[in-house]
Structure 1
Amino acid sequence: MENRFAVILAAGQGTRMKSKLYKVLHPVCGKPMVQHVADEMSKLNLEKMVTIIGHGAEMVKAQLGEKSEYALQSEQLGTAHAVMQASSQLQDLDGTTIVVCGDTPLITSETMENLLSHHSETNSKATILTVKAEDPAGYGRIVRSSSGLVEKIVEHKDASAEERKIDEINTGTYCFDNKMLFETLSKVSNDNVQGEYYLPDVIEILKNEGQVVSAYQTDSFEESLGVNDRVALSQAEKYMKKRINTFHMRNGVTLIDPDQTYISADAEIGRDTMIYPGTIIKGNAKIGEDCEIGPNTEIKDSVIGDQTVIRQSVVHDSEIGKLVAVGPFAHIRPQSSVSDEVKIGNFVEIKKTSMGKGSKASHLSYIGDAEIGSDVNLGCGSITVNYDGKNKALTKVEDGAFIGCNSNLIAPVTVGKGAYVAAGSTITEDVPGQALSVARARQVNKEDYVGRLSMNQNSNS
């Protein structure tokens, strides 16, 4: 196989987005647009990938990291000028270069692979990715000869009435013979209204020089969608959501209402898991088999074990084991680890806490900065008092301990193995294993108090 190279055009600011965030960094299903493009390109067996950066250069580099090399376009003078910035990295290399815009998040590796194959099979010096559009207005039209070869690209404003009837459009993605691309870029002129150097002019120059220029037509219009404003961003989100949800359903996941289910591009979900409406799964979430998730649940960057049920709850940056029940209305905050067969019930919040196998916090509790052993029962209203205004401290509850309702554990403190804490206690010292700790005032009953109180109030009126 010949050498393959790629150029991603990601230097534009995207003024029509009307945003402080640079265009290609806007997320689609939780992943920045340029990351979608780079991830798909990475499947093409490339020798080198070069991303052209400009506005937000450091942020784009931080996003893509070592996945790509970079070339800076300090002035945005058009797409041909942008590709020219990669000349030091690419111009002397033999092979084929694919050029893709960083604001086309829906393009797939399959389509790019087909484009590259067509380019090679037709011995073309340039190949254009095209698609048929129901409404081609505003797009460049592909004018073909009777033999099917590309004669020219005509912009909508320059097209004749007959040419405007053509429904095959230019998507803005191209393949080139690499050396010929960079030789031809130097011939591109900026003699146009915008005073910019346009990449499609390379096609015209090659054609005029007698080189073979071809087009590969994809049947997926959505892959050609370039995101230039918030309206197009919402369209890309809709298309991507449908693609992701369809993938999971075809791989054995049940989505009760796909239109009301949002799953990130990087999420993994096991077979026979059921996702209820209103569920949002973000980031690198990994959900096991035979789970029930939702309704109205948010999971982000977390691992969920098999046969776990999470209802109307939030789980962020945590790990949950098998056969766990979470919710309704629970909040699992970052850096928490929940072992198998645990119950985290309604209105329970845990943060930076590990819970051992079989433990329970069934109602109305806050457990933060804690190590909870196995088979521990945290009664309704149990609180780890972990913050003194300056520092966080650790609470330990060892295996088999029982914490009564409305108990405060003032960290740092340890409740030993098998110990009992009486309901309503405020524990400030360690509790030995197998001990009963009672830390509350003795009950005092004042007989006839209410009657005397009423007499005093009447005498003062």
Structure 2
Amino acid sequence: MSDTPVALIILAAGQGSRMQSDLPKVLHRLGGVPLVGHALAAGRGLEPEQVVVVAGHGADLVTKAVAKLEPEAGIALQTEQLGTGHAVQQAMPLLEGFAGKVIVLYGDTPFISETTLEALAAHKSDVVVLGFEAADPGRYGRLVVNDQGLQRIVEYKDADAATRQIALVNSGVMALDAALLRELIGNLGNDNASGEYYLTDLVQLAREAGRRADVVTCDETETLGINTRAELAAAEAAFQARRRTEALENGVTLIEPATVWFALDTTIGRDAVIGQNVVFGPGTTIESGAEILPFCHLEGCHIASGAKVGPFARLRPGAELGGDVRVGNFVEIKNSVLDEGAKVGHLTYLGDTHVGEFANIGAGTVTCNYDGVMKHRTEIGANAFIGSDTMLVAPVRVGAGAMTASGSVITQNIPDEALGMARARQINKAGLATRIMAALRVRKDNK
């Protein structure tokens, strides 16, 4: 990592009209998080002193999303879309006093690696542009390089036929000395085919000021930008393929890799086993040796070594499973802690609950945690036994070693080692079922 302080400017102001969406382009999801989250995550590895996101279209939505992803990031507004240079200009007041290197990233370019960003940050030239050898240069801006470094960047619309033959093209990502950027950014002009202020013109301005510009190259796959739904789908496929390969190489067993879907921050330890059709949402950690059976959805949860989940289980944010916990089919857990050895076999909802070690939760149990306004907690002690079809109306506590009778609606605390029973006494009415059915059939026939 470079010893030079780093600041990030992430351009996220575009509408992305080709997405055919009311949602700002950078908020479309890839790997479970908005596109802009990938740029933020890549830059985080540089430990930047400051991060500024430039928002424009849908600025309120972008601001809210960035606040969740990177609470310390500043937001600059680009109310008019006048080009990349103009966008960076809007960010500069937020970097007042910063001394170091500024790296400009794009919120719709999710695959730039931390290694590539480190190379940009560590380079000694005053201006460093990220380029790549394009298989099809198409309409990319061309990088004109000689033994004196990068001479200029020529946008396709402004390039002559000879320049268009150059295969080394511009990714748009750039790193500059902060003081130089402040000096030059106001000198950008818009005398070009688009009438926009190009960030790329800083290369020529820097050279005219006697500064050196150079190119760092990366693989073309790192520079993939997202402009359409089709490109987003292709990027998702590429992201998932890479994450599956990484998991396998790191010692994770994927029973049927093509059916497992990862989020950007999914963490899985070696010797974990992941079954078919498992979906990981953001914020999930699976420790070594845990097993996730098929058709589970997990988000914002932590699963300790030796735990087994599924099939057909859903773990929501705040679910914490201790070692050797068993969670079976059609169980949903939210904002709850299950201590070591607890068992929740099937057909159960646990919300805002703490389950003690080796407690057993019977089928059909529901913790009734929401009164329509507030959430309330349920405490289930160690070695407790919750009978099938128990409704636990929070706030309520079931003591250690206590039991509930099947079919109970528990509204009061149960002391340790006590049996809680709360159900009406059964009454049998002889012949009443036959008479009721007969009456119902007559009513139906008379309609």
Q: Same fold (TM over 0.5)?
A: yes
Aligned residue in 2 for 1:71: 76
Aligned residue in 2 for 1:167: 167
Aligned partner of 1:105 among 104, 110, 127: 110
On the 8 A contact 2:153/2:201 being kept in 1, the answer is: no
On the 8 A contact 1:91/1:182 being kept in 2, the answer is: no
C-alpha offsets along residues 296-354 of structure 1, whole Å, 9 cap, x if unaligned? 1011111212111111210112222211111122222x222222212212222222232
Q: What amino acid maps onto 1:40 in structure 2?
A: A
Inter-partner Cα distance in structure 1 for 2:177 and 2:367: 62
Aligned residue in 1 for 2:384: 376
Aligned partner of 2:119 among 100, 111, 114: 114
Report the CA distance between 1:371 and its aligned residue. 2.6
Aligned partner of 2:42 among 40, 43, 65: 40
Report the CA distance between 1:161 and its aligned residue. 4.7
On the 8 A contact 2:4/2:121 being kept in 1, the answer is: no
Report the CA distance between 1:78 and its aligned residue. 0.8
Aligned residue in 2 for 1:351: 351
Report the CA distance between 1:189 and its aligned residue. 1.7
On the 8 A contact 2:387/2:404 being kept in 1, the answer is: yes
The question of 1:82 aligning with 2:87 is answered yes
Residue 44 of structure 1: SS of its match in structure 2? Answer: coil
On the 8 A contact 1:426/1:440 being kept in 2, the answer is: no
Aligned residue in 1 for 2:9: 7
When Rg is computed on C-alpha atoms for both structures, the one with the higher figure is 1
> What are structure 2's unaligned runs of at least 5 residues?
370-377, 442-447
Aligned residue in 2 for 1:24: 26
Aligned residues: 423
- CA spacing shift, 1:294–1:165, aligned 2, 3 Å: farther
Residue 249 of structure 1: SS of its match in structure 2? Answer: helix
The question of 1:256 aligning with 2:261 is answered no
Inter-partner Cα distance in structure 2 for 1:48 and 1:403: 55
- CA spacing shift, 1:324–1:93, aligned 2, 3 Å: closer
TM-score normalised according to structure 2 size? 0.84
Report the CA distance between 1:201 and its aligned residue. 1.8
Residue 45 of structure 2: SS of its match in structure 1? Answer: helix
Q: What amino acid maps onto 1:27 in structure 2?
A: R
> What are structure 1's unaligned runs of at least 5 residues?
387-392, 428-438
On the 8 A contact 1:92/1:179 being kept in 2, the answer is: no
Report the CA distance between 1:247 and its aligned residue. 3.5
Report the CA distance between 1:400 and its aligned residue. 2.7
Q: What amino acid maps onto 1:310 in structure 2?
A: V
Report the CA distance between 1:420 and its aligned residue. 4.1
Q: What amino acid maps onto 1:384 in structure 2?
A: M
Aligned residue in 1 for 2:134: 133
Inter-partner Cα distance in structure 2 for 1:272 and 1:362: 30
Aligned residue in 2 for 1:278: 277
Report the CA distance between 1:288 and its aligned residue. 1.9
The RMSD of aligned alpha carbons is 3.0
Aligned residue in 1 for 2:314: 314
Residue 331 of structure 1: SS of its match in structure 2? Answer: strand
Residue 352 of structure 2: SS of its match in structure 1? Answer: strand
Inter-partner Cα distance in structure 1 for 2:288 and 2:6: 39
C-alpha offsets along residues 228-265 of structure 1, whole Å, 9 cap, x if unaligned? 22222223323333343334333332222332212222
TM-score normalised according to structure 1 size? 0.82
